[in-house]
Amino acid sequence: MNRDEQALHRLLEDTFSSCQRILGEQRPQLKYREIGTVNFIGQGIARIAGLPGVKSEEIVCFQGDSLGMAFNLDIDEVGTILLDKSEHLKAGDEVRRTGRVLDVPVGDGLLGRVVDPMGRPLDNRGPVRAAQRYLAERKAPAIMDRAPVTVPLQTGLKVVDALIPIGRGQRELILGDRQTGKSSIALDTIINQKGEKVICVYCAIGQRSSAVAKFVADLQQYGAMDYCLVVFAAGEEPPGLQFIAPYAATAMAEYFMEQGHDVLIVYDDLTAHARAYRELSLLLRRPPGREAFPGDIFYIHSRLLERSTHLNAARGGGSLTALPIVETEAQNISAYIPTNLISITDGQIYLSPVLFQKGILPAVDAGKSVSRVGGKTQLAAYRAVASDLRLSYSQFEELEVFSRFGTRLDEVTRQTLERGRRVREVLKQNQYEPMPVPEQIAILLAVTSGVFDRLMIAEIPAAEKAVALAIRQQLPEICVHLQSGKKLSDGDFQNLVSIAEQAIAIPE
Amino acid type, 276: A
Query: Does the annotation place 368 within a ligand binding site?
Result: no
End-to-end CA distance of the chain, in Å?
A: 122
| 485 annotated binding-site participant | no
Of 120, 372, 414, 454, the active-site residue reads 372
Q: Which stretches of the chain drop beneath a pLDDT of 70? A: 1-9, 11-12, 16-30, 406-407, 506-508
Query: Does the active-site annotation cover 372?
Result: yes
Count the alpha carbons within 13 Å of 268 in the hemisphere toward its beta carbon. 25
**Measured distance CA(56)–CA(54) in Å, rounded:** 7
| Model confidence pLDDT, tens digit, residues 311-349 | 999 999 999 999 999 999 999 999 999 999 999 999 999
Return the biggest CA–CA distance within the chain.
127
User: What pTM, to 2 d.p., does this model score?
Assistant: 0.91
Answer yes or no: is 176 a known binding residue.
yes
Backbone angles phi, psi at 224, to 5 degrees: -95, -15
How would you write 326-338 as a 3-class SS string?
Answer: EECCCCCCCCHHH
Instruction: Determine the 3-state secondary structure of 354 from DSSP.
Output: helix
CA quadruple 190, 211, 332, 292: dihedral positive or negative?
negative
Helix axes 270-283, 336-344, angle to 10 degrees: 120
Residue 46 pLDDT: 96
**112-129 burial, b if ≥16 CB within 10 A, otherwise e?**
bbbbbbbbeebeeeeebe
| H, E, C per residue of 90-109 | CCCCEEEEEEEECEEEECHH
Q: According to the annotation, is 177 in a ligand binding site?
A: yes
Three-state secondary structure call for residue 507: coil
Q: What is the pLDDT of residue 508?
A: 46
| Collapsed DSSP state (helix, strand, coil) of residue 250 | helix
Q: % helix / strand / coil in the chain, to the nearest 5? A: 45, 20, 35
* CB neighbourhood size of 21 (10 A): 9
| Alpha-carbon distance values, 446 to 17, 234, 393, 428, 436 (Å) | 93, 46, 15, 15, 16
What region, left, alpha or beta, does residue 181 occupy, with left being phi > 0 and alpha being psi -120 to 50 degrees?
Answer: left
Instruction: Compute the Cα dihedral for 287, 291, 295, 301 and give only its sign.
Output: positive
Give the number of other CB atoms < 10 A from CB of residue 222.
Answer: 16
Residue 195 is assigned to a ligand binding site = no
The pLDDT, as a whole number, for residue 404 is: 74
